[in-house]
């Protein structure tokens, strides 16, 4: 399966008088790790929820492609996985029980599940802890369990909403290693939101968003070079000063 390419064309989403997305234009390449970067309230979570179909835009369009084929959101949704920022696992279920639960939710066959389970437990290094309850996991292990559940269906588009928030540095590094291994296969597109600028600069492509508008997008080195900035923090500070 090939990863999805994604394009937002003038997306607008209102919550009362507030525009969380304000005519947003943005483009995501297939099979790449994208960093969706911005401060709290920039519109990152709203965009992800529109992509998953959890929210409907008030205006604009969302285009999805797999290779040369254009897909509707309804066609693409079974191959889209979303890991929200807030806790979404069950504290009284073990790692093994979570995997079995999501196997049934996604309708994964027994043969596929056996192979996928073994692979995911191996790459996350959680195999020794399969009987541990989610409520007893460390922050890093909890995040990796959430990622495993999202990956169980072998998605073509994986959306991660600030997945490393509250995670210790070692677990953050391990999480990044997992993401790189995923995109190296080329069969999944990953969009990861973050407010950590040092993390964003590790992504092959970044998309800077603020107040529902796209500021800049491209390879981090090119963005910094074009803006004559040393860090992405500098770019956002300059943008704030211009408001």
Give tens-digit pLDDT for 215-239.
999 999 999 999 999 999 888 888 7
The CA-CA-CA angle for residues 237, 26, 17, to 5°, reads 70
- Please state, in angstroms and rounded to a whole number, the distance separating the CA atoms of residues 81 and 152: 9
Residue 64: closest CA among 106, 9, 21, 22: 9
- pLDDT band for position 153 (cuts 50, 70, 90): confident
Q: State yes or no: pLDDT of 52 exceeds 70.
A: yes
**pLDDT above 70: percentage of residues in the chain:** 98
Q: pTM for the whole thing?
A: 0.90
Tokens of 181: 């291994």
Domains in the chain (CATH in brackets) are 5-89+155-242 (3.40.50.300)
pLDDT of 88: 78
Bridge partners, 27 (sequence order): 7
CB 206 within 8 A of CB 35: yes
**How large is the average pLDDT for residues 103-114?**
90
Give tens-digit pLDDT for 154-207.
899 999 999 888 777 887 888 888 888 888 887 899 999 988 888 888 899 999
Tabulate helix, strand, coil % of the chain (nearest 5): 40, 30, 30
- Please state, in angstroms and rounded to a whole number, the distance separating the CA atoms of residues 142 and 164: 11
Residues with Cβ within 8 Å of residue 106, at least 6 apart in sequence? 152, 153
Query: Kind and range of the H or E element at 151?
Result: helix 139-151
The DSSP string of 25-76 is EEEE-TT-EEEEE--TTSSHHHHHHHHHTSS--SEEEEEEEETTEEE-HHHH
């Amino acid at each position: 399966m090939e990863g999805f390419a994604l394009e937002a064309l003038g997306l607008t989403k209102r919550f009362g008088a507030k525009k969380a997305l304000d005519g947003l234009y943005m483009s995501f390449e297939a099979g790449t790790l994208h960093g969706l970067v911005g401060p709290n309230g920039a519109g990152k979570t709203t965009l992800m929820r529109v992509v998953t179909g959890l929210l409907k835009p008030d205006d604009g369009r969302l285009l999805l492609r797999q290779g040369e084929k254009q897909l509707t959101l309804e066609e693409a949704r079974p191959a889209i996985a979303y890991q929200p920022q807030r806790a979404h696992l069950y504290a009284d279920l073990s790692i093994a029980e979570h995997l079995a639960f999501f196997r049934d939710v996604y309708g994964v066959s027994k043969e596929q599940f056996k192979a996928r389970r073994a692979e995911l437990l191996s790459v996350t290094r959680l195999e020794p802890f399969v009987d541990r309850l989610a409520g007893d996991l460390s922050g890093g292990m909890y995040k990796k369990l959430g990622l495993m559940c999202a990956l169980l269906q072998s998605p073509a588009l994986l959306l991660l909403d600030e997945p490393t928030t509250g995670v210790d540095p070692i677990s953050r590094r391990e999480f990044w290693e997992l993401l790189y291994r995923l995109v190296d296969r080329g069969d999944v597109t990953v969009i990861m939101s973050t407010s950590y600028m040092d993390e964003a600069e590790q992504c092959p492509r970044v998309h800077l968003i603020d107040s529902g508008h796209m500021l800049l997008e491209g390879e981090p080195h090119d963005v910094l070079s074009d803006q004559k900035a040393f860090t992405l923090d500098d770019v956002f500070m300059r943008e704030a000063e211009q408001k």
